[in-house]
Structure 1
Amino acid sequence: MKKETENEVVAHTEENCKKLLLPVQDALDVLNGRWKLPILIAISFTPKRFSQISKEVNGITDRVLSKELKEMEQNKLITRTVYDAFPPVVAYAVTEHGRTLHKIYGQLGEWGDAHRRLIMGK
């Protein structure tokens, strides 16, 4: 009987783990990669054109930026607005849903600072 109780505890723990992991995995799937958070931060205060984002996010290629912007638009993190001008002007802005990440990347930044100090012994 004792083994059954232990198995129940293990099963319960695994179930709780899965419940915690699924939403985290969903978030990581949407925010995966090196560039999405830097792009969000670059446009978090004001809408920007492609070339402005490219200049602010150091090291990103135009091809990768284009791909990331499309994925972020599909996930409703940003909007893409085409203005009637010649040549056409396109601006990218963070959606209300995307703004909900503001606290998260603020906390990631704080954690990153603390981690850097820990690793570097400062």
Structure 2
Amino acid sequence: MKAEPANFDQDACTAHHLAIRDTMDVLSGKWKIRIIGALSFGARRFMELKGTIDGIAAKMLSKELQDLELNGLVSRKVLNTKPITVEYDLTEYGHSLKPIIEVIAAWGMQHRDKVIKGIKFQ
């Protein structure tokens, strides 16, 4: 049996893993982070948002927006137009995810660059 380091704190480790799980539960799936990323540039109408996110079906976008709205990350505004237009935006709480999304995007660009250049991973 391997001994744990003297400074190991089981409660802190458990809390850390619980926080990661909670975050993953809110942002889970193929689309939520991409939706938040698209909305981080400003409010968008439904079809505009759908066009920004390659490959997402309208039904899936609607479901994911509802989930994000339930978690307080996205707001939905019905505009008084004919036909009715719905606009989505990040809430103030949703904007708190922007630094995380930016780090994910930066890592993705760096990773893509390494893959394209054929750099071996260690």
| TMscore range, shorter length | 0.7 to 0.9
How high is the TM-score relative to the length of structure 2?
0.83
Q: What is the count of residue pairs matched by the alignment?
A: 117
4+ runs deviating over 4 angstroms = none
Give the % identical residues.
35
The CA distance in 2 between the partners of 1:110 and 1:63, in whole Å, is 29
The CA distance in 1 between the partners of 2:114 and 2:18, in whole Å, is 30
Structure 2: give runs of 5+ residues left out of the alignment.
none
Q: Would you tell me which structure has more helix in proportion to its own residues?
A: 1
How high is the TM-score relative to the length of structure 1?
0.83
**1:27 aligned to 18, 23, 28, which one?**
23
The CA distance in 1 between the partners of 2:109 and 2:42, in whole Å, is 25
Letter in 1 for 2:81: A
**Is 1:14 aligned to residue 1 of structure 2?**
no
Q: How does 1:86-97 map to 2 (within 5 A)?
A: 86-97=82-93
Q: Counterpart of 1:3?
A: none
Q: What is the deviation of 1:69?
A: 0.4
Select the structure of larger CA radius of gyration.
1
Q: Counterpart of 2:59?
A: 63
Q: How does 1:89-108 map to 2 (within 5 A)?
A: 89-108=85-104
Q: Counterpart of 2:80?
A: 84
RMSD over aligned Cα atoms: 2.4
